[in-house]
């Protein structure tokens, strides 16, 4: 209930501030709503933006989930090895730690040189954005298994080779899920930046294009849609997590 009061209040403030005066750099909620309808279903303005929402949203989502899936596919096994195999840790960890403080967006120019202007650069940025949260949390998870649990498993007759699957993985699952959630959140942050240069489709691309044409109401639509999609995908991961982590007092 309280969660609804604040946004409604903000909406009202927005509405009131756009009333009256001819000063109209910020579109009113009504205009944005109309633009969103046109963006989704067309039939209002019938311009270049009409009826394109699904295309753009799908393009962004495929990059977000594709880049995220690739990041997870690399970061999960890598993190497990860095966490549990001292040799791998000695070889890779210093380099990865050194590269970590470099903001993902700082990679954009280099990505454009390597991958060219276009969706591949955006995909790469998403990959990079999701990579580190997943990696770091996986390493942390597999490293911070309580030593007691290994003793318990050993005295119950579990062979050391089975302890990774039977002890390390389940014990690390809460951390791994935290990493996946953060990674997916980051992917949504980064996608907009990635799509702002030289990409034809995607929510970042329409925001950029609308900005150039001073169609601020479309910019706001793009922001809103990204917000909603990011929120829904986060809830989805959380739901899966809650199912798998019913045993954890922090998650269940």
Question: Which residue ranges make up the site for other proteins (CB under 8 A)?
Answer: 146, 148-149, 151-159, 162, 166-167, 170-171, 173, 246-249, 252
Nearer to other proteins, 168 or 210 (CB): 168
Please report, to the nearest 10 degrees, the dihedral formed by the alpha carbons of residues 146, 240, 96, 109 taken in order.
-170
Is the Cβ of residue 119 or residue 141 nearer to other proteins in the bound state? 141
Provide the 8-state DSSP code for 165. I
Written as six digits, the tokens of 25 are 């750099």
When the beta carbons of 60 and 138 are compared against other proteins, the nearer one is: 138
Please, what is the minimum distance in Å from the beta carbon of residue 80 to other proteins? 17
Q: What's 103's DSSP letter?
A: -
Comparing CB distances to other proteins, the nearer of 47 and 146 is 146
**H or E segment at 93?**
helix 86-99
Q: Would you say 121 and 108 are in contact if contact means Cβ atoms under 8 Å apart?
A: yes
At residue 11, the 3 state secondary structure works out as helix
Is 210 in contact with 36 (CB distance < 8 Å)? no
Least distance to other proteins, CB of residue 68, Å: 25
Question: Closest distance between other proteins and the C-beta of residue 168, in Å?
Answer: 12
- Least Cβ distance, residue 84 to other proteins (angstroms): 18
């Amino acid at each position: 209930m309280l969660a609804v009061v604040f946004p409604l209040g903000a909406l009202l403030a927005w509405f009131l501030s756009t009333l009256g005066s001819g000063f109209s750099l910020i579109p009113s909620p009504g205009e944005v709503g109309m633009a969103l309808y046109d963006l989704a279903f067309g039939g209002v303005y019938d311009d270049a933006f009409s009826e394109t929402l699904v295309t753009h949203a799908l393009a962004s989502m495929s990059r977000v989930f594709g880049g995220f899936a690739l990041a997870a596919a690399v970061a999960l096994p890598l993190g497990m090895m860095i966490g549990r195999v001292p040799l791998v840790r000695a070889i890779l960890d210093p380099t990865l730690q050194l590269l970590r403080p470099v903001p993902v967006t700082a990679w954009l120019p280099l990505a454009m040189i390597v991958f060219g202007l276009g969706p591949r650069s955006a995909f790469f940025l998403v990959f990079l954005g999701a990579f580190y949260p997943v990696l770091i949390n996986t390493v942390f998870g597999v490293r911070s298994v309580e030593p007691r649990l290994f003793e318990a498993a050993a005295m119950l007759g579990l062979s050391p080779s089975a302890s990774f699957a039977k002890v390390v993985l389940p014990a690390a699952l809460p951390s791994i899920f935290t990493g996946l959630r953060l990674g997916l959140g980051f992917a949504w942050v980064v996608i907009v930046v990635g799509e702002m240069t030289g990409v034809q489709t995607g929510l970042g691309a329409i925001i950029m294009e609308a900005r150039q044409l001073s169609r601020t109401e479309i910019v706001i639509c793009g922001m809103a849609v990204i917000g909603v999609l990011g929120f829904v995908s986060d809830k989805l991961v959380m739901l899966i997590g809650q199912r798998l982590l019913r045993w954890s007092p922090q998650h269940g």
